[in-house]
Structure 1
Amino acid sequence: MTTKPFLYVVVCAAGIAVEVNKLITAAQECDWEVGVIATPVAMGGFFDTAAVEAQTGRPIRSAWRRPGDPRPFPPPDAVVVAPATFNTVNKWAAGISDTLALGTLCEAYGLGVPIAVLPCVADALAVHPAYRASLERLRGMGVRFGDPYSGEPQEDGGRREFHWERALELLGTRVQPNG
């Protein structure tokens, strides 16, 4: 029996998260099953949780499960963090595991699971020395970072287009399912 590879999508609290359905659609078109893990702040209105649950057919995870509760997702074949915020990148690089999203990222590294990241960090924060050091540490761990933006800044001051599919490109060819 052939099973589809399973992709964890970790969603952080950035305004662009409202479009995370684009990443889920692209992943499903590439034959991935998708489960979403969101930071607690992201769950507070940064994206349409009901629509994402309907699209994936699975509940969004944001809190730790209790002992004895079944695992709602199979083990991941790959993980995408998009949008990845300044806070999440820095805590993850420091090994801080105070949310399910961060704990999942810390554990995925230890399991050797491929991880792709599309940062969504303000220019003023991106030059902070802690952020630069975090990127260096995570890259040294094999985490794959991509520039999700393309095109020129918009005249009205709006952000350039966020290319969700770049996360899948960072993962390369189809990953073989676990098990």
Structure 2
Amino acid sequence: MTSRTLYLFASAAPPVFDVARVIETAQADGWDVCLGLTPTAARWLDDSLDGLAALTEHPVRSEYKVPGEPDVWPKADVILFAPATFNSINAWALGLTSSFVVGVVAEGIGKGIPTVAMPCVNAAYAQHPALDRSITELREQGITVLYGEGGFTPNPPGSGKPKAYPWEAALAAARQIVDQT
């Protein structure tokens, strides 16, 4: 079986602490996983970065490479951006690419890379009108956004359930997109 490459991107939200298990699940399903993190997520996982790089057999990236440097990852078959925070979703929809992972997914729209996003926001952020606008914009650009029924549903502030984050739905959506192409 030919290995498929999954770029797994994550923002700093509590489900990011479960990323090693998610990588192992994806690998068991035949994915070659490359892990990209927002700068804050990389800081949160700082003590685990070497282990995550060993697990994926690829460097964990949270910064842009220097122009002219070779790319250290294989080409992506699909990108899964989960958890994607309020900030990351809005920056992506607006094309604000100051972070590596947001830059890659923004460019991925133009490159036609299939992409799945699953937000992780609390109910207070969900009330902000920018979130709905950004999700609509990303969906109009062809991004599969798992938000609401069948995806992530916000919890009241301070009452998140990181272990209940629907990682399986996110991985299944990435698999389905690749299987359809």
Structure 1 residue 21 and structure 2 residue 24: aligned?
no
Give, as a single letter, the amino acid of the residue that structure 2 aligns with 1:171: A
SS at match of 1:116: strand
Identity %: 34
Query: What pairs up with 1:28-177 in 2 under 5 angstroms?
Result: 28-46=27-45, 48-146=48-146, 147-148=151-152, 157=159, 159=161, 161-173=164-176, 175=178
1:6–1:34 CA contact under 8 A, matched in 2 = yes
Unaligned runs of 5+ in 1: none
| CA deviation string 1:105-147 (max 9, x = no partner) | 1111111111111211011001110111000000111111221
Please state how far the C-alpha of 1:21 moved relative to its aligned partner.
1.5
| CA deviation string 1:21-58 (max 9, x = no partner) | 12212211111100011111111124722221121011
CA distance in 2: counterparts of 1:158 and 1:107, whole angstroms = 31
After the TM superposition, which parts of structure 1 deviate over 3 Å for at least 4 consecutive aligned residues?
Answer: none
Please state how far the C-alpha of 1:68 moved relative to its aligned partner.
2.4
Structure with a larger share of its residues in helix: 2
TM-score (norm 1): 0.87
Unaligned runs of 5+ in 2: none
Aligned to 1:9: 8
1:38–1:62 CA contact under 8 A, matched in 2 = yes
1:82–1:118 CA contact under 8 A, matched in 2 = yes
CA distance in 2: counterparts of 1:90 and 1:38, whole angstroms = 16
